[in-house]
Structure 1
Amino acid sequence: MSDSAPTRSEVVVRPASEGDFDALTAVWRSAVEATHDFLSEADVDHYELRVRNEFLPAVDVHVAVDAQDRPLGFIGMAGHRVEMLFVDASARGRGVGSALLFWAAARHTALEVDVNEQNPQARGFYESQGFEAFDRSPLDADGRPFPVIHMRRPAPHRP
Protein backbone atom coordinates (compact mmCIF):
# COMPACT_ATOMS: atom_id res chain seq x y z
CA MET A 1 0.00 0.00 0.00
CA SER A 2 1.17 3.49 -0.71
CA ASP A 3 0.95 6.56 1.49
CA SER A 4 -1.74 7.87 -0.84
CA ALA A 5 -4.51 5.60 0.38
CA PRO A 6 -7.89 7.07 -0.52
CA THR A 7 -10.26 8.85 1.80
CA ARG A 8 -13.70 7.48 2.69
CA SER A 9 -15.28 9.26 -0.26
CA GLU A 10 -12.87 7.51 -2.64
CA VAL A 11 -13.39 4.02 -1.23
CA VAL A 12 -15.64 1.55 -3.02
CA VAL A 13 -17.19 -1.30 -1.04
CA ARG A 14 -17.92 -4.41 -3.08
CA PRO A 15 -18.72 -8.05 -2.30
CA ALA A 16 -15.65 -10.19 -1.71
CA SER A 17 -15.09 -13.42 -3.57
CA GLU A 18 -13.05 -16.41 -2.50
CA GLY A 19 -10.40 -15.12 -4.90
CA ASP A 20 -9.96 -12.13 -2.56
CA PHE A 21 -9.31 -14.22 0.54
CA ASP A 22 -5.50 -14.32 0.29
CA ALA A 23 -5.34 -10.52 -0.07
CA LEU A 24 -7.86 -10.08 2.76
CA THR A 25 -5.82 -12.36 4.99
CA ALA A 26 -2.80 -10.13 4.29
CA VAL A 27 -4.92 -7.08 5.22
CA TRP A 28 -5.96 -8.87 8.41
CA ARG A 29 -2.34 -9.62 9.35
CA SER A 30 -1.26 -6.03 8.67
CA ALA A 31 -4.10 -4.69 10.83
CA VAL A 32 -3.48 -7.16 13.65
CA GLU A 33 0.25 -6.50 13.74
CA ALA A 34 -0.51 -2.76 14.02
CA THR A 35 -3.14 -3.03 16.77
CA HIS A 36 -3.04 -6.34 18.65
CA ASP A 37 0.06 -5.97 20.82
CA PHE A 38 -1.34 -8.52 23.25
CA LEU A 39 -1.02 -11.40 20.75
CA SER A 40 2.21 -13.34 20.38
CA GLU A 41 3.65 -14.13 16.95
CA ALA A 42 2.44 -17.71 17.44
CA ASP A 43 -1.09 -16.42 18.20
CA VAL A 44 -1.08 -14.31 15.02
CA ASP A 45 0.14 -17.27 12.94
CA HIS A 46 -2.56 -19.50 14.48
CA TYR A 47 -5.36 -17.03 13.81
CA GLU A 48 -4.11 -16.21 10.31
CA LEU A 49 -4.81 -19.76 9.16
CA ARG A 50 -8.24 -19.66 10.76
CA VAL A 51 -9.06 -16.29 9.19
CA ARG A 52 -8.25 -17.59 5.71
CA ASN A 53 -9.80 -21.04 5.97
CA GLU A 54 -12.53 -20.75 8.58
CA PHE A 55 -13.62 -17.19 9.43
CA LEU A 56 -13.77 -15.54 5.99
CA PRO A 57 -15.83 -18.34 4.40
CA ALA A 58 -18.29 -18.26 7.33
CA VAL A 59 -19.52 -14.66 7.02
CA ASP A 60 -20.80 -12.21 4.42
CA VAL A 61 -17.59 -10.40 3.45
CA HIS A 62 -17.36 -7.06 1.69
CA VAL A 63 -14.11 -5.41 0.79
CA ALA A 64 -13.16 -1.74 0.59
CA VAL A 65 -11.00 -1.17 -2.47
CA ASP A 66 -9.16 1.70 -4.09
CA ALA A 67 -9.46 2.80 -7.72
CA GLN A 68 -7.17 -0.08 -8.79
CA ASP A 69 -9.39 -2.60 -6.93
CA ARG A 70 -6.71 -3.19 -4.27
CA PRO A 71 -8.17 -4.24 -0.91
CA LEU A 72 -7.76 -1.61 1.81
CA GLY A 73 -9.97 -3.26 4.40
CA PHE A 74 -12.89 -5.59 4.81
CA ILE A 75 -15.96 -6.27 6.90
CA GLY A 76 -17.47 -9.66 7.69
CA MET A 77 -21.13 -9.63 8.72
CA ALA A 78 -23.46 -12.23 10.20
CA GLY A 79 -26.84 -10.55 10.12
CA HIS A 80 -26.54 -7.29 12.10
CA ARG A 81 -23.30 -8.40 13.78
CA VAL A 82 -19.95 -7.09 12.64
CA GLU A 83 -17.89 -10.26 13.03
CA MET A 84 -14.74 -8.76 11.49
CA LEU A 85 -13.60 -5.32 10.44
CA PHE A 86 -9.95 -4.87 9.55
CA VAL A 87 -8.12 -2.09 7.73
CA ASP A 88 -4.65 -2.44 6.24
CA ALA A 89 -2.13 -0.62 8.45
CA SER A 90 -1.15 1.68 5.58
CA ALA A 91 -4.77 2.83 5.13
CA ARG A 92 -5.63 3.42 8.80
CA GLY A 93 -7.04 6.80 9.70
CA ARG A 94 -8.25 7.53 6.19
CA GLY A 95 -11.94 6.63 6.50
CA VAL A 96 -11.81 3.03 5.29
CA GLY A 97 -13.26 1.61 8.52
CA SER A 98 -15.90 4.34 8.59
CA ALA A 99 -16.84 3.57 4.98
CA LEU A 100 -17.25 -0.12 5.83
CA LEU A 101 -19.44 0.69 8.85
CA PHE A 102 -21.47 3.15 6.77
CA TRP A 103 -22.04 0.33 4.27
CA ALA A 104 -23.18 -2.01 7.09
CA ALA A 105 -25.41 0.62 8.71
CA ALA A 106 -27.17 1.19 5.39
CA ARG A 107 -28.27 -2.45 5.56
CA HIS A 108 -28.95 -2.89 9.29
CA THR A 109 -30.62 -0.35 11.54
CA ALA A 110 -28.76 -1.59 14.62
CA LEU A 111 -25.25 -3.08 14.74
CA GLU A 112 -23.31 -5.14 17.28
CA VAL A 113 -19.61 -5.93 17.52
CA ASP A 114 -17.20 -7.61 19.93
CA VAL A 115 -13.88 -5.85 20.58
CA ASN A 116 -10.81 -7.19 22.33
CA GLU A 117 -10.44 -5.27 25.58
CA GLN A 118 -6.67 -5.09 25.01
CA ASN A 119 -7.26 -3.19 21.76
CA PRO A 120 -8.25 0.31 22.97
CA GLN A 121 -7.84 1.74 19.46
CA ALA A 122 -10.66 -0.45 18.18
CA ARG A 123 -12.89 0.39 21.12
CA GLY A 124 -12.23 4.09 20.56
CA PHE A 125 -13.03 3.73 16.87
CA TYR A 126 -16.37 2.04 17.56
CA GLU A 127 -17.24 4.56 20.28
CA SER A 128 -16.55 7.36 17.78
CA GLN A 129 -19.04 5.63 15.48
CA GLY A 130 -21.80 5.65 18.12
CA PHE A 131 -21.28 2.19 19.65
CA GLU A 132 -21.65 1.67 23.39
CA ALA A 133 -20.38 -1.15 25.58
CA PHE A 134 -23.16 -3.26 27.08
CA ASP A 135 -21.33 -6.31 28.42
CA ARG A 136 -17.92 -7.89 28.92
CA SER A 137 -16.66 -11.46 28.72
CA PRO A 138 -13.41 -12.40 30.48
CA LEU A 139 -12.52 -14.92 27.74
CA ASP A 140 -12.72 -14.78 23.95
CA ALA A 141 -14.92 -17.13 21.89
CA ASP A 142 -12.16 -19.77 21.98
CA GLY A 143 -11.97 -19.64 25.79
CA ARG A 144 -8.61 -17.86 25.70
CA PRO A 145 -7.73 -15.13 28.22
CA PHE A 146 -8.44 -12.23 25.87
CA PRO A 147 -11.38 -10.31 27.40
CA VAL A 148 -14.04 -9.09 25.00
CA ILE A 149 -16.17 -5.96 25.19
CA HIS A 150 -19.61 -6.42 23.64
CA MET A 151 -20.76 -3.22 21.94
CA ARG A 152 -23.81 -2.11 20.04
CA ARG A 153 -25.04 0.86 18.11
CA PRO A 154 -28.79 1.09 18.51
CA ALA A 155 -31.10 1.91 15.67
CA PRO A 156 -31.70 5.64 15.34
CA HIS A 157 -34.81 6.85 17.12
CA ARG A 158 -37.53 7.74 14.65
CA PRO A 159 -40.64 9.55 15.96
Structure 2
Amino acid sequence: MSHPIRLAHAEDYPRIMEIWESAVKATHHFLAEEDFEYFKEVIPRDYLPNLEVYVITENRIAEGFAAVAEGNLEMLFIHNESRRKGLGRTLYEFMKDKTGLTKVDVNEQNPQAIGFYEKMGFRQIGRSEKDGSGKDYPIIHMSL
Protein backbone atom coordinates (compact mmCIF):
# COMPACT_ATOMS: atom_id res chain seq x y z
CA MET A 1 0.00 0.00 0.00
CA SER A 2 1.42 3.37 -0.93
CA HIS A 3 1.67 6.20 1.54
CA PRO A 4 1.94 9.47 -0.40
CA ILE A 5 4.05 12.18 1.19
CA ARG A 6 3.34 15.85 0.59
CA LEU A 7 4.25 19.28 1.89
CA ALA A 8 2.05 20.33 4.82
CA HIS A 9 -0.04 23.50 4.79
CA ALA A 10 -1.47 25.59 7.62
CA GLU A 11 -4.80 23.75 7.35
CA ASP A 12 -2.90 20.54 8.23
CA TYR A 13 -1.73 21.93 11.58
CA PRO A 14 -4.72 20.70 13.64
CA ARG A 15 -4.21 17.14 12.34
CA ILE A 16 -0.44 17.45 12.81
CA MET A 17 -1.02 18.39 16.43
CA GLU A 18 -3.39 15.40 16.84
CA ILE A 19 -0.61 13.16 15.52
CA TRP A 20 1.93 14.85 17.80
CA GLU A 21 -0.32 14.48 20.86
CA SER A 22 -1.08 10.81 20.17
CA ALA A 23 2.61 9.97 19.56
CA VAL A 24 3.87 11.91 22.56
CA LYS A 25 1.29 10.38 24.93
CA ALA A 26 2.38 6.90 23.75
CA THR A 27 6.15 7.43 23.95
CA HIS A 28 7.02 10.42 26.14
CA HIS A 29 5.72 9.24 29.52
CA PHE A 30 8.40 11.39 31.16
CA LEU A 31 6.95 14.68 29.87
CA ALA A 32 5.41 16.81 32.63
CA GLU A 33 1.86 18.04 31.95
CA GLU A 34 2.85 21.72 31.93
CA ASP A 35 5.63 21.00 29.42
CA PHE A 36 3.20 19.01 27.27
CA GLU A 37 0.89 22.04 27.26
CA TYR A 38 3.84 24.36 26.53
CA PHE A 39 4.92 22.38 23.45
CA LYS A 40 1.31 22.01 22.30
CA GLU A 41 1.17 25.81 22.18
CA VAL A 42 4.59 26.62 20.70
CA ILE A 43 4.80 23.93 18.01
CA PRO A 44 1.98 25.26 15.78
CA ARG A 45 2.86 28.88 16.59
CA ASP A 46 6.67 28.96 16.45
CA TYR A 47 7.90 25.76 14.83
CA LEU A 48 5.58 24.57 12.06
CA PRO A 49 5.30 27.90 10.17
CA ASN A 50 9.11 28.19 10.06
CA LEU A 51 9.85 24.68 8.83
CA GLU A 52 9.19 22.71 5.66
CA VAL A 53 6.92 20.09 7.16
CA TYR A 54 5.98 16.96 5.23
CA VAL A 55 3.06 14.67 6.02
CA ILE A 56 2.74 10.98 5.18
CA THR A 57 -0.81 9.97 4.36
CA GLU A 58 -2.97 6.87 4.34
CA ASN A 59 -6.30 7.09 2.54
CA ARG A 60 -5.59 10.83 2.14
CA ILE A 61 -5.41 11.32 5.93
CA ALA A 62 -2.14 12.50 7.45
CA GLU A 63 -0.77 9.80 9.77
CA GLY A 64 2.70 11.23 10.39
CA PHE A 65 4.85 14.30 9.85
CA ALA A 66 8.49 15.30 9.74
CA ALA A 67 10.68 18.35 9.26
CA VAL A 68 14.39 18.95 8.72
CA ALA A 69 16.39 22.14 9.32
CA GLU A 70 20.07 22.56 8.49
CA GLY A 71 20.65 18.83 8.17
CA ASN A 72 18.97 18.09 11.50
CA LEU A 73 15.79 16.00 11.65
CA GLU A 74 13.79 18.37 13.85
CA MET A 75 10.71 16.20 14.21
CA LEU A 76 9.32 12.88 13.05
CA PHE A 77 6.08 11.68 14.61
CA ILE A 78 3.65 8.93 13.59
CA HIS A 79 0.11 8.71 14.97
CA ASN A 80 0.05 6.06 17.68
CA GLU A 81 -2.70 4.10 15.88
CA SER A 82 -0.52 3.94 12.74
CA ARG A 83 2.73 2.82 14.34
CA ARG A 84 4.43 -0.46 13.39
CA LYS A 85 3.33 -0.16 9.75
CA GLY A 86 6.62 1.12 8.34
CA LEU A 87 5.40 4.71 8.00
CA GLY A 88 8.23 6.06 10.16
CA ARG A 89 10.86 4.36 8.02
CA THR A 90 9.17 5.46 4.78
CA LEU A 91 8.91 9.06 5.96
CA TYR A 92 12.47 9.03 7.31
CA GLU A 93 13.88 7.69 4.02
CA PHE A 94 11.93 10.31 2.06
CA MET A 95 13.28 13.11 4.27
CA LYS A 96 16.83 11.76 4.05
CA ASP A 97 16.70 11.60 0.23
CA LYS A 98 15.09 15.02 0.00
CA THR A 99 17.22 16.93 2.51
CA GLY A 100 20.45 14.97 3.02
CA LEU A 101 19.90 15.09 6.79
CA THR A 102 22.74 13.71 8.94
CA LYS A 103 21.73 14.48 12.53
CA VAL A 104 18.92 13.96 14.99
CA ASP A 105 18.43 14.83 18.66
CA VAL A 106 16.40 12.34 20.70
CA ASN A 107 15.07 12.44 24.26
CA GLU A 108 17.22 10.12 26.35
CA GLN A 109 14.01 8.96 28.08
CA ASN A 110 12.55 7.74 24.76
CA PRO A 111 14.44 4.46 24.16
CA GLN A 112 12.06 3.44 21.35
CA ALA A 113 13.14 6.47 19.31
CA ILE A 114 16.83 5.87 20.04
CA GLY A 115 16.39 2.27 18.87
CA PHE A 116 14.60 3.40 15.71
CA TYR A 117 17.37 5.81 14.74
CA GLU A 118 20.06 3.24 15.52
CA LYS A 119 18.26 0.90 13.08
CA MET A 120 18.35 3.73 10.51
CA GLY A 121 22.12 3.89 10.90
CA PHE A 122 22.61 6.68 13.45
CA ARG A 123 25.07 6.50 16.32
CA GLN A 124 25.25 8.51 19.52
CA ILE A 125 27.80 11.33 19.38
CA GLY A 126 26.90 13.39 22.44
CA ARG A 127 24.49 14.26 25.20
CA SER A 128 22.98 17.43 26.65
CA GLU A 129 21.42 17.74 30.10
CA LYS A 130 18.64 20.00 28.81
CA ASP A 131 16.52 20.03 25.67
CA GLY A 132 16.47 22.78 23.04
CA SER A 133 13.94 24.76 25.09
CA GLY A 134 16.19 24.65 28.15
CA LYS A 135 13.95 22.15 29.93
CA ASP A 136 15.36 19.33 32.07
CA TYR A 137 14.99 16.53 29.53
CA PRO A 138 18.38 15.06 28.59
CA ILE A 139 18.98 14.85 24.85
CA ILE A 140 21.05 12.30 22.97
CA HIS A 141 22.72 13.77 19.87
CA MET A 142 22.95 11.24 17.06
CA SER A 143 24.64 11.33 13.69
CA LEU A 144 24.80 9.12 10.60
State TM-score, norm by structure 2.
Answer: 0.95
State percent identity of aligned pairs: 37
Map 1:116-135 → 2, pairs under 5 A? 116-135=107-126
Secondary structure of the 1:107 match is helix
Secondary structure of the 1:10 match is coil
Map 1:88-127 → 2, pairs under 5 A? 88-127=79-118
1:114 deviates by 0.4
1:14 deviates by 0.6
Aligned equivalent of 1:4: none
- Of the three residues 101, 116, 129, the one matched with 1:138 is 129
CA distance in 2, matches of 1:44, 1:63: 22
Q: Which runs of 4+ in 1 moved over 6 A?
A: none
Residue identity matched to 1:149: I
Q: 1:25 and 2:4 equivalent?
A: no
Aligned equivalent of 1:15: 7
1:105 deviates by 1.6
Residue identity matched to 1:75: A
Structure 2 contact 68–99 (Cα < 8 Å) conserved: no
1:34 deviates by 0.3
Q: 1:52 and 2:44 equivalent?
A: yes
Residue identity matched to 2:111: P
Residue identity matched to 1:130: G
The structure with the largest alpha-carbon Rg is: 1
Secondary structure of the 2:37 match is helix
Secondary structure of the 2:85 match is coil
Unaligned runs of 5+ in 2: none
| Matched positions, count | 144
Query: 99-108 vs 143-152, which deviates more?
Result: 99-108
Q: 1:64 and 2:56 equivalent?
A: yes
CA distance in 2, matches of 1:152, 1:22: 31
1:42 deviates by 2.1
Structure 2 contact 73–101 (Cα < 8 Å) conserved: no
Higher relative contact order (CA 8 A, sep 6+): 1
